[in-house]
Amino acid sequence: MHLKPDLEINDLSRMFNASIRGWINYYGHFYKSQLYNVLGHMNDALVKWARRKYKKLERHKIRAIRWLGRLAKNVPELFAHWRLGILPAAGIMGAG
């Protein structure tokens, strides 16, 4: 994902939501304790993508996490795991 800075976030959502839903269905039934780790990794990959996509976020990891957190809070239907409330943490905590 982070190697696709030419794509918009809507494109990433269309590309990866089916896989994310599959992970939620599988891990949710068999390895619920691992579900949050897998989906947290997805949020980390989205932060890495944002830092490559937007030059203003390139050197500011916390700023990228907050930007993504605000986006997740405002448009939770964009990614399947955001609907479950698994959002980038710093975006919720210090967004102001």
* pLDDT over threshold 60, residue 60: yes
Residue 9's pLDDT band (cuts 50, 70, 90): very high
- Cα(first)–Cα(last) distance of the chain, in Å? 28
Residue 80's pLDDT band (cuts 50, 70, 90): very high
Domain count, the chain: 1
* Domain coverage including residue 73: 9-93
pTM: 0.84
Question: How far is the C-alpha of 90 from the C-alpha of 3, rounded, in Å?
Answer: 23
Predicted confidence at residue 31, as pLDDT, reads 85
Q: Does residue 88 belong to any structural domain of this protein?
A: yes
Q: Does residue 2 belong to any structural domain of this protein?
A: no
Question: How far is the C-alpha of 52 from the C-alpha of 3, rounded, in Å?
Answer: 8
Residue count of the chain: 96
* pLDDT over threshold 90, residue 63: yes
Q: Does residue 3 belong to any structural domain of this protein?
A: no
Predicted confidence at residue 95, as pLDDT, reads 43
CA distances to 23, 31, 91 from 36, rounded to whole Å, are 10, 10, 17
